[in-house]
Amino acid sequence: MINKVLNHRTKSSTSAGLVLAGASLLSAFLGLIRNRLIAGGFDPIERDIYFSALRVPSFITTVLIMGAISIAVVPLFREYSQRSEKEGWLFLSAVMNQLPLFLAVVSSLLIIFAPQVVAIITPGFAAAIQAEIVWLMRIMLLTPMILGLSTIISGTLQCFDRFLVSSLAPIFHNLGIIIGIIIFVPWLGLIGLAWGMVLGAIMHLAIQLPSFFLLRAGQPPAFAWRHVGLKRLLTLATPRSLTVIFGQVNLLVVTAVSSMLAVGSISVYNLAGDFSQALTRLVGVSFSAAIFPTMALAFARRDKAEILKNFVASFRQILFLIIPGSVLFFLLRAQLVRIVLGTGKFSWADTRLTAACLGLFCLGIFAQALVTLVSRTFSAIQDNKTPAWVALGSVLLNVVLIFAFISLLGQPGWFQEGVGSVMKIQDISDIRIVGLPLAFSLSNIFQLVLLTLILRKRWSMPFIKNLMVFFLKTALASLIMGLLVYASLYFMAPRVDMQRVVGLVTQVAVALAVALVSYLLASYYLNRPELVKFFKAIKQEFKR
C-alpha cells in the first residue's frame, strides 16, 4: 500500500488536477479544524498576534519558494532533462545545495531585525504586543529553510506525475500545526503555535522524501555549485519573485491597516481569507499545478499549439468548478463561519464580520483562481516579467481601493448603509474591515482581465470568445443552482434549530445536496462535454 502511494502516477492533467483537488479538500478540512481551534481557544488580541507573526515567514515562503523558485525550477528541470536525465538531476542538485544556504541567510537577518520589521507591519499595536509578535516570528522563521527543500521536491515529483504523494504534503503540514495547538500550546502557551508551524514544515518535507529518493535511485550525489542553470534560474525567478512580492506587500499593507482598526480585525480578515483561499487552492491551484509541468515540457519542445490546448482546457475546468463553488460559499457564508468558528472566545460580532468578509471575497474567487493559471502559463513559457508588471498595477489599485473604502465605511452615507445592509452588518458600529476584501476582489478581477488580454494578443488567437461563451453557460448553470439553494435554505430554516450546530449542519447538508443535483443537471444540458470529461477522469483513477 505504501509503495503504491509513493509510486502512484496520474494518467492525465485532469486526473492530476482531481488528485490534487481531493488532497486539497482534505487539507482544507484540516485547515478549518485548525482555525476553529484558534478562533475558539484564543482572545482576539492573541489571534491578531499569531496572524501578525505569521505574515513575514509566510512572505518568505511564498515569495522565494512557492511563488518563485518552484515555478522557475520546473521549466528548467524539464528543459535540461530533455537533453539527458543526468543533466536534469545535476541542475536539481545545484538548486538543492544552494537554496537552503540562501534561505538560512535571509531568515537569520530577519531574526536579528525582527523588532524593526514588526514595528513597520503592525504600527497600531502597543510595544508589549509587538514584543510578543517578535518572539513568535523568530521561531516561525525556521520554517522557510525546510519548506524550501520540500517545495522543490514537490515540483520534481510532479514532473514525474507523482501528484498523489506531493499532494499529501499540505495535509501533513496542517496536521503539524494542529498538533502544536493541542499539545504544545497547553505546555508553552501562545509560543506553542509557532512551534506547531515548525513541526508542520518538517512533516511537509518528511512525507515526500521516500518517493523522492526512489526516483533519484541510481543518480550519484552531486554538488554542482556553479551549474550554468543557476544563473538562468535567477533570471527567471527574479521577475516571478517581484510578482509574488507585490501580492505579499499587499498583505503587509492589509496587516498594517487592520492593526489600526478595531481589535480582532486582523484575525477576522485572515480567517475569512482562509475560507476563500481553501476554495482557490482546491480548484485554481490544483488544476494549475497539474497542468504546469505539461506546459513547461511543451515549451521545451517548442510546441505552441499544445500549450494553448492545455491552457484552454484548464481554464474551462477551473471555471466549471470555481463559479458554482463561489456561489455556494456566498450563500452559505454565515452557516460556514458559525459552524467552523462560532465557538469559545469567538464573539457574535466577529462571526458576522467574518461572514461578511467571506461574502465579499467570494466576488473575486473566480478571478484569483484563474490568475493562478494565467500566471503559471506565462511562467511555463519562461516569461515572468509580464505577470510582474500586471501584479504591480493590481496591488496599486488594491491599496487605493482599500483607503477609499475604509474612508467611505468609516462615515455615515450611502456606501456604508448599502454595504452594511447587503451584508447584514448594519448594526455593528465599526465595519471598515469589510472594505479590505472588497478591494482585494476588485483588484483580482482587474488583474485577470489584463493578463488574459495580453496573453490573447501575444498568441494572436481568438480563444477569448469561446471561453466567454463557456463562462456564460457556467454562470447560468450556477445561477439556477444558486436560486434552488437559496430556496432550500429558507425551506429548512424553520424546520431545524438554527441556534445549534446540528441544525446548521443539517441545513447546509440539504443545501449541498440540492446544489450538487441541480448543478449536474443544469450542466448536463449546458456544458455536457466538460461534465463527461470530469467523470471520465475520475473513472480512470478509480479503475487503477
Per residue in 504-539, pLDDT (tens digit) is 999 999 999 999 999 988 887 776 666 666 666 666
Cα–Cα distance for residue pair 324/327, rounded to 1 Å? 5
Burial of 421-443, coded b for 16+ CB within 10 Å and e otherwise, reads eebebeebeebbbbbbbbbbbbb
Whether 365 contacts 322, CB under 8 Å: yes
Q: Tell me the whole-structure pTM to 2 decimals.
A: 0.76
Measured CA to CA in angstroms, residue 415 lies from 17, 420, 426 at distances of: 40, 8, 11
**Three cell numbers, residue 266:** 486582523
Tens-digit pLDDT string for the chain (544 aa): 556 655 666 666 666 666 777 777 788 788 888 888 888 788 888 888 988 888 888 878 776 655 555 666 777 777 777 777 777 777 777 777 777 778 888 889 999 999 998 998 888 888 889 999 999 999 999 988 888 888 878 877 877 777 777 788 888 999 999 999 999 998 888 899 899 999 999 999 998 888 888 877 666 666 666 677 777 777 767 766 667 677 777 777 888 888 888 877 888 888 888 888 888 888 887 788 777 777 877 777 777 778 888 888 888 888 888 999 999 999 999 999 988 887 777 888 888 999 999 999 999 999 999 998 888 888 777 777 888 889 889 989 999 999 999 999 988 888 999 998 989 898 888 889 999 999 999 999 999 999 988 887 776 656 677 778 888 888 999 999 999 999 999 999 888 888 888 899 999 999 999 999 999 888 877 766 666 666 666 665 555 5
Cα–Cα distance for residue pair 141/134, rounded to 1 Å? 10
pLDDT for the residue 208: 86
Amino acid at 140: M
Amino acid at 514: V
Whether 445 contacts 367, CB under 8 Å: yes
Return the sign of the alpha-carbon dihedral for residues 464, 469, 472, 477: negative
pLDDT for the residue 460: 63
Who's near 78: CB < 8 A, 6+ residues apart? 88, 159, 293, 296, 297, 300
pLDDT for the residue 438: 94
